[in-house]
Amino acid sequence: MHVLVTGGAGYIGSHAVLLLLEAGHKVSVFDNLSNSSPESLRRVREMSGSAPDLFIGDLLDSDRLDSVLSQTQPDAVIHFGGLKAVGESVQKPISYYQNNVVGTLNLVSAMEKAGVKRLVFSSSATVYAESTELPLVEGAQRDASNPYGRTKLHIEQILEDLAVSDSSWSIATLRYFNPVGAHPSGNIGEDPQGIPNNLMPFIAQVAVGRRSEVQVFGNDYPTYDGTGVRDYIHVMDLAQGHLDALDFLNSHNGQYVWNLGTGSGTSVLDVIGAFSRACGRQLPYKLVDRRPGDIAEYYGDPTTARLELGWKAERGVEEMARDMWEWQSKNPAGYPDYDLDGISEEEINEFIRGARASIVKEK
């Protein structure tokens, strides 16, 4: 298949692009590189032996989307592109609604014009209402508590309406729990800008000496050790779920929703413990107040994905920590920071393909 991947240079996208290329698919990436580097795709090409084509473009530029979709005529689209920081979404709701909701509307409208009606969408467990009934099943009540979560909820609803309006659409909404880890080679991984908001990237930076200690937000939650409990999922398992969803959509029309999680929860202290074992020293941490807006515990029920897709998370927290450590210790400062000013899309693609080593200069 030829798959267009929006946000394909980013954290989860780059792992999915790698698996798609390894499975023999042709891949085009549509990304504005606002939160990623072409270096991820260069490494993906080194690892897989084949290069994706990068189209540098913004989901808010509907003319560009129209032309890329009609030019590439993909069989399917996987849509990772968008903004994802909960705290920032409270400060910049317009930007979040624009990039995520308007960006998705532009995408599906460009797909419709090009006659491409197969879509896999990155949703989030954040669309679930706070619930005492765990694990969360796909039919659980939805309600988001911040602008980021509301963008995902609105997009889910838009995609539902679209599938009802035209039965030739095939749409998979994947609700991710907490994606962590990296490719086991440590060549690609998560490269957050600034201070990481999420637990595992923060711990990884403590392990590599960039930060002094982990702050544990609250130890008086009604959980097994008092700290927050989440359903962490290895990014390689998550990426595989996208390939399985694509296979399913090849033979099914309509709209489907699947939780992608492990089905069990791990506490903050247990994640710190796993990471300490991975890096070979006890990582320092301090118990501090709860983080406003956090809930005690949630984890998903992945049974539907297992029954309908044959998908199941294979890797546990020890592997998540081990692979994250491999990435972080090999790349303590993340990807190199390139200055792309004045460098053309063709030159960046040559860099990704390995045909041009010097054109992308390091800052």
Collect contacts of 156-164 with beta carbons under 8 A, ≥24 apart. 156/121, 156/123, 156/127, 156/257, 158/101, 158/104, 158/105, 158/108, 159/104, 159/108, 159/119, 159/121, 159/255, 160/255, 162/108, 162/255, 163/254, 163/255, 164/255
Minimum Å distance from CB 196 to ligand UFG? Answer: 7
Write down the catalytic residue from 97, 148, 299, 338.
148
Determine which residue in the list 126, 151, 205, 276 makes contact with ligand UFG, applying CB under 6 A.
Answer: 126
- Using the rule CB under 6 A, is 123 a contact of ligand UFG? no
Minimum Å distance from CB 155 to ligand UFG? Answer: 13
Backbone angles phi, psi at 91, to 5 degrees: -80, -35
* Residues 179-198 interacting with ligand UFG (rule: CB under 6 A): 197-198
148 is a catalytic site residue: yes
> SS3 for 343?
coil
- Using the rule CB under 6 A, is 124 a contact of ligand UFG? yes
121: partner contacted, choices ligand UFG, ligand NAD, none (Cβ within 5-8 A by kind): none
> Token pair 């998908």 is at which residue?
311
Gap between the Cα atoms of 46 and 33, Å rounded: 20
- Using the rule CB under 6 A, is 215 a contact of ligand UFG? yes
Bridge partners of residue 3, in order along the sequence: 27, 76
217: partner contacted, choices ligand UFG, ligand NAD, none (Cβ within 5-8 A by kind): ligand UFG
Number of separate helices (H) and strands (E) present in the chain:
13, 15
- Using the rule CB under 6 A, is 125 a contact of ligand UFG? yes
* Residues 268-307 interacting with ligand UFG (rule: CB under 6 A): 268, 291, 294
Interface residue list for ligand UFG (CB under 6 A)? 84, 86, 124-126, 176-178, 197-199, 202, 215-217, 228, 230, 268, 291, 294
The residues assigned a catalytic role are 148
